[in-house]
Amino acid sequence: MVRAGRQGRDTAGEIASKKAPADRKTARGAGDKSERQARRVARRTELVEAALKVIRRDGPGASMDRMAAEAGVTKPILYRHFQDRAGLVAAIGECAFNQVSVGLDKALHADVTPRQMVLSTIDVYLQFIESDQDVYRFLVHRTSNEGTDSGAMLNEYIARAGSQVAMVLGEGLRAAGLDSGPAEPWAFGIVGMVHSAGDWWMDRATMPRIRLAEYLTSLIYDGLPNAASLGTAGTWLPAAGGDAPDTVLPPDSSTMTHTPADIEPDPAEGVVTPLAPK
């Protein structure tokens, strides 16, 4: 006959011995799942890098077949890793725009003057366009022309950038004891303007990147210089359906501190600056 106490101890031991393998199995299962997830992430990263390599080599018209071949898989298998073609394009965009986001964050938190912060922040986006033109065209233009919903993707990244800028603007305004209400509309207005101007500049290439950055900084930070001296629009705009006036300068142009001809790049900095009045 087994004593009750001994039976109790044996029962507890048996339960413990049965529970231990189950716990090990659960832990092993969780570890296997984590490893599989890590492998999937690593594989997706490799596939995106292969796609970016082909775009940079072949241009924005690079084929999905070549992207798959570069990665050593067939096109259906390439798509399967991202659910479909749109998922692959979104992953390429995520990789590209994440680099911009990191650069923006660094520029927005640099220990520089407010004007220099504006200039360097604008230049981060323009530098992305200039240095990765084929990827930019693939994401913004080609996918749009093909009917891919790139507009929603681009709006998402613009919204992210706008939120980054708005946070810093809001903190700056509050630190100065000012109303932070304009921070968000200002931020999204700035980001939208820089994107639109950068898109125009990429196709025209009419000026160096730093000059465009300085022009945009001047508008954002300094406002329209000497706007009051322009006079009424009737003095320099043609009437509807009519010819332009003989001159596009306001009658009292002597009050202007500088004209477009007076603007030239600073040879030391490569930055456009207005010269002193003659």
Gyration radius from the chain CA atoms: 30
Which CATH superfamily is 86-223+264-278 part of?
Tetracycline Repressor, domain 2 (1.10.357.10)
Q: Has domain 26-81 been given CATH number 1.10.10?
A: yes
Query: Which residue from 164, 161, 172, 169 is spatially nearest to 186, judged by alpha carbons?
Result: 169
Domains of the chain, by residue range, sit at 26-81, 86-223+264-278
CA distances from 269 to 8, 106, 130, 266 (A): 85, 21, 19, 5
Low-confidence stretches of the chain (pLDDT beneath 50): 247-278
Q: What are phi and psi of 86, to 5 degrees?
A: -60, -35
Question: How far apart, in whole angstroms, are the C-alpha atoms of residue 242 and residue 219?
Answer: 30
Task: Give the Cα separation of 27 and 234 in Å (integer).
Answer: 78
Q: What six digits make up the tokens of 132?
A: 């990765």
Per the structure block, which two tokens stand in for 258?
């500088």
Contacts of 201 (CB under 8 A, 6+ apart): 126, 129, 207, 209, 212
67-92, pLDDT tens digit by residue?
999 999 999 888 888 888 888 888 99
How far is residue 115's CA from residue 221's CA, in Å, rounded to a whole number? Answer: 7
> Residue 53 is inside which H or E element, if any?
helix 4-58
State CA 86 to chain mean position distance. Answer: 19
- The secondary structure of 88-155 as a DSSP string is HHHHHHHHHHHHHHHHHHHHHTSSS-HHHHHHHHHHHHHHHHHHTHHHHHIIIIIHHHTT--HHHHHH
How many residues belong to the chain?
278
